[in-house]
Amino acid sequence: MTQLQSLRGMVDLLPEQTCRWQAVEAVARVHFQRWGCREIRTPLLEVTELFARGIGEATDVVGKEMYTFQDRGDRSCTLRPEGTASVVRSALQNGLLSQGAQRLWYGGPMFRYERPQAGRQRQFHQIGVEWLGVSSAASDAEVIALAWDLLADLGVEGLALEINSLGTPDDRLAYRTCLVEWLEARRDQLDADSQQRLSTNPLRILDSKHPQTKALLEEAPLLEQSLAPESLARHQAVLQALDALAIPYQCNPRLVRGLDYYGHTAFEITSDQLGAQATVCGGGRYDGLVQQLGGAATPAIGWALGMERLLLVLEAAATANPDGRAAQLVQAATPDVYVVNRGEQALQAALVLTRQLRSCGLAVERDESGSAFGKQFKRADRSGAAFALVLGDEEAERGVVRIKPLKAVPDADGLADQQDRSLNDLPALVEALKKGANSVATSGD
């Protein structure tokens, strides 16, 4: 029978990777908790209209990239391509917004029918935050600081923040008129895609990757020139707050984001760790979205970071600096203790001991090959455990277990040499192992 394969762009996360993912997620959870963000989990499947109305019909995501189908009840359903619209829908549906400002975070798979390549998949994962009901310029800087500090704490190096203001809907309308007029006069110099966008979503042309279009855009009028004085002042206030937080940024007047709901602050955070600058995090303010989805006018801001791209960046950082924070995070999990056992009587004692140690919180791997001690010790070394516990029939007979350090343990812990310990004094054994495993971990061996 032929073996079945996963769908194109849908990628398995194998144990070696899930370990790393969990480490990253754990750090993210700590930061969210410090920032007062609470987790929200929404369904992967939503009515198609949510994204059509929320993200905008003329965007690439809605126009070309959604997984949309009719369910058995003939409703049009879509696998979520991003998190913001769902979070806002849920907040409205569950009355969260009547309880004051909401600082929320989410994580999980998103689906976009794109051309798969490195760091771009059809099922990918995001972690994101949405702050609903917060309007100040300071909050824009604060939400950016959350992303910045999280990425820095993860050991991502070469971070750069690009920021722009997309102004109010009126500002964008004024700019749209001016941009379309300018581009219409140069229509024949635009690529086919951009020509089409001229009537559907002209601001997105600024995001074009087409070299000739990009070159032409160098000369195009800038959004900044259409911003009302209040919008400019707001943008300045955000930049000042970033200055106060000592977060470096670069103003990029051509930064527009792929989704229609953004206004005022828009930003992206990139890392140079993969050679070229890779966008790991994108976000901005979306004051109009709640209303567009049927709620009362509510200011809001958020960002999402791409887990796959973040992991690529972290792996590169770990290779570049084997002693750094990223290397620590992507390290495979190892057991604390490896139990080497051989013989009928030893097996019973090892089973009991292993279970006891596990219930005391130690990660224990027991060799179940029954092979010669030499072979078991080789596996113990490969396991990365700090200690081997050795049980042969002779030890079992005497009611002891031999502790053999597999890594250099500071002498002070009294575990530098191998020694026998009584099986009847479990607390002393556990304490010694935990202390030893701890000092091995902190000595960085």
- Residues binding ligand ATP (CB under 6 A): 82, 112, 114, 119-121, 124, 126, 258, 279-282, 304-306, 308-309
Largest Cα–Cα distance in the chain?
A: 94
Least distance from ligand ATP to the Cβ atom of residue 399, Å: 56
Q: Residue 72: exposed, middle, or buried by beta-carbon count in 10 A (0-12, 13-18, 19+)?
A: exposed
Residue nearest ligand ATP, Cβ-based: 306
Least distance from ligand ATP to the Cβ atom of residue 305, Å: 6
Could you give the strand order of the β-sheet that contains 123-132, starting from the edge strand earlier in sequence? Answer: 38-39, 102-111, 123-132, 300-306, 276-285, 263-274, 159-165, 250-251
Least distance from ligand ATP to the Cβ atom of residue 161, Å: 13
Detail the DSSP E strand segments found in 307-398: 337-342, 364-366, 387-392
Dist CA 241 CA 263 (whole Å): 18
Least distance from ligand ATP to the Cβ atom of residue 23, Å: 18
Least distance from ligand ATP to the Cβ atom of residue 85, Å: 11
Pairing of strands 263-274, 276-285: antiparallel
DSSP conformational letter for 120: B
Nearest alpha carbon to residue 360 among 331, 384, 389, 380: 389
Least distance from ligand ATP to the Cβ atom of residue 204, Å: 11
Instruction: With H, G, I as helix, E, B as strand and everything else as coil, classify residue 106.
Output: strand
> What residue spans of 73-228 are helical by DSSP H?
84-93, 137-153, 169-184, 192-200, 211-217
Which tokens belong to 382? Answer: 């490969």
Least distance from ligand ATP to the Cβ atom of residue 303, Å: 8
CA of residue 78 relative to chain centroid, distance: 23
Residue 62 has, within 13 A of its CA and on its CB side, a CA count of 20
DSSP conformational letter for 332: P
The dihedral of CA 61, 63, 65, 68: what is its sign? positive
Residue 283 or 392 with smaller CB distance to ligand ATP: 283
Q: Which residues pair with 270 in a beta bridge?
A: 160, 279
Which positions ≥6 away from 438 have C-beta within 8 Å? none
Residue 82 or 336 with smaller CB distance to ligand ATP: 82
Residue 59 or 226 with smaller CB distance to ligand ATP: 59
Contact 307, 125 (CB under 8 A): yes
Least distance from ligand ATP to the Cβ atom of residue 25, Å: 16
Least distance from ligand ATP to the Cβ atom of residue 310, Å: 7
Could you give the strand order of the β-sheet that contains 45-47, starting from the edge strand earlier in sequence? Answer: 45-47, 76-79, 67-70
Residue 17 or 356 with smaller CB distance to ligand ATP: 17
Residue 261 or 338 with smaller CB distance to ligand ATP: 261
Residue 277 or 419 with smaller CB distance to ligand ATP: 277
Residue 159 or 304 with smaller CB distance to ligand ATP: 304
Nearest alpha carbon to residue 201 among 132, 258, 124: 258
Residue 89 or 112 with smaller CB distance to ligand ATP: 112
Least distance from ligand ATP to the Cβ atom of residue 268, Å: 7
Dist CA 248 CA 36 (whole Å): 24
Residue 9 or 384 with smaller CB distance to ligand ATP: 9
Residue 113 or 373 with smaller CB distance to ligand ATP: 113
